[in-house]
Amino acid sequence: MTDHPTANFPDPPYRYPRGRFARYRQVVRILAHHGFGWLLGQLGLSRLLPLHLGIPRRRPVSQHTAAEHLRLAIEELGTTFIKLGQILSTRSDLLPPNYLAELSRLQDAVPPEPLEVIEAQIARELGRPPSELFAEFEWKPIGSASIGQVHAARLKTGEEVVVKVQRPGVESLVEEDLAILRDLARMASGRTTWGQIYDLPGMVEEFSATLLGEMDYLREGRNADRIRRSFAGEPHLRVPTIYWEYTTKRVLTMERLRGIKVDDLPALDRAGIDRKALAETGARLVLKMVLEDGFYHADPHPGNFLVMEGGVIGLLDYGMVGQVDEATRDGLLYLLVAVANQDLDRVIDLGVVGTAAQMERLRRELGHLVATYWGIPLKQIDVARVLEESMGIVRRHLLQLPSHLVLLAKTMAMNEGLTRELDPDFSTAEVLRPYVLRLAWERYLPHQWGKRLIPTLTDLSRLAITLPRRTERLLNRMERGDLSLQMRVQETEHILDVLNRIANRLVLGMLISGFAVALALLIQVYYAGELRWLQGWILAAGMAVVGGLGLWLATNLLRGGH
């Protein structure tokens, strides 16, 4: 058992203030400090600001850009918002390139927890302290992030492992922030135009599921096992073994893989690794995950790839995965064939949501994009650049893409960048074309038709049985005149809210004025006899109340920008 190091560790990471309201005020203060007061005004949260932060309406002079301020604010806000920013850094359909580049720099490295905290967490989760569970346990972590930290260890049976330990109490902090994000998304949807264009509550719920899933180490272990089973006969991929007897929801123990980082090109060359073959292997493995298995590793940055002896790829960190159902995989095959044939109607028929005018403009711009690459040899096509330009078109026209397609596009772009770094002349498109043709041939052979035809016939039979009854009910309601049509007029809620605030301020101003006049008249006509000295105190108290209400009203007017 390795002794505790003698060096003192830094203090544990920042803890949130106690209580939801205190955390709300902290979030609002940090956003205002970095120049996002306009956003707080749109959301109706300016009232939570201290007076000295609520009055200014312009961004203070700073050497940082708006994108840098956003990154700095997110880093200051902590764990949940850092994870949100990292996910937003992949959403090229939502944010412009300068914001994406800045968010991709988000750092999720924090000082490690004190040794006694980690020891207590392991003992609480596994039933015994590390000294009884492991033959060796390195107390100095090899990695430390906001959710957990990683320690090297050795089992008593001799296997080298890494132990991932979740920070105590981080779940409650994340759940508190997720509740605040849900509130903010709901406010934005009811008060802003951009909040109504994008399904912000849905995005927050999806982010919540992703983040909570990443914090469940049992789920991460199951993800690793699933990918290992999918590549059981693949000699060029190594998935670390999960040691389930040493794994819980908050502690994960897995095999330690050793190798060269995939972006350490000089070390790869010294080891005699064929980088071109390595790039082709990486692209082929990702395509198999996406198009064949429908379950893929969704965080393919260089830190998660190790090149082991013989050019074997060791894949790490299975907290973020993506899934592609069979219908979407079919759609992707259609899409790839459509791009090859310049069939734009199929290109935009993959879950893009928008009005008829927006879709027509999208079709026109995609036509220009496809024409740009028409006739260019496959090895000269940069898939990552094509994806980035496509997402830029979607963003300009305020269209919505299914989130699983955005995650897939991000994964493919990251993989393309990684393979290009290994071999500048490599093209994923060259590997993609024969792969897609083979899959399409296998999927649409006649013996596969029966598998697709039976569910379709079942749906048609159910529709044939229920359609007459539904039609009769519809006609009866039309005859009785009780058929109703629900409509939603955008911006109505925001306009009503603004009118309500204006009316409240008018009424409050009238009350303050009336109270001041009544107080003056009362002092003049009222004679208190021996208690005349009390008139001065009544006047002073009344004027203090009137002055306080007036100052409060003026502060709200200044914060509202009116």
Task: Return the active site residues.
Answer: 299
Pairing of strands 237-238, 313-315: parallel
Residue 327, class by beta-carbon neighbours within 10 Å (0-12 exposed, 13-18 middle, 19+ buried)?
A: exposed
Residue 258 in contact with residue 306, Cβ under 8 Å? yes
Contacts of 259 (CB under 8 A, 6+ apart): 306, 307, 308, 309, 312, 314
Can you read off the two tokens belonging to residue 206?
């999806």
Nearest to 555 by CA among 49, 57, 55: 55
Dihedrals φ, ψ of 455, to 5°? -60, -35
State the first-to-last Cα distance of the chain, in angstroms, to the nearest integer: 67
Residue 67 in contact with residue 102, Cβ under 8 Å? yes
Q: How far apart are CA 443 and CA 330, in angstroms?
A: 9
Q: How many residues does the chain have?
A: 562
Alpha helices in 382-527, H assignment, sequence order: 383-396, 403-422, 428-443, 446-480, 492-525
Alpha carbon separation from 210 to 207, 365, 408 (Å, rounded): 5, 33, 14
Q: How many other CB atoms are found less than 10 A from the CB of residue 76?
A: 17
Based on its alpha-carbon atoms, the radius of gyration of the chain, rounded to whole angstroms, reads 31
Torsion angle (degrees, nearest 10) of CA 19, 20, 22, 27: 140
Can you read off the two tokens belonging to residue 196?
């109504």
H/E stretch holding 305 reads strand 305-307
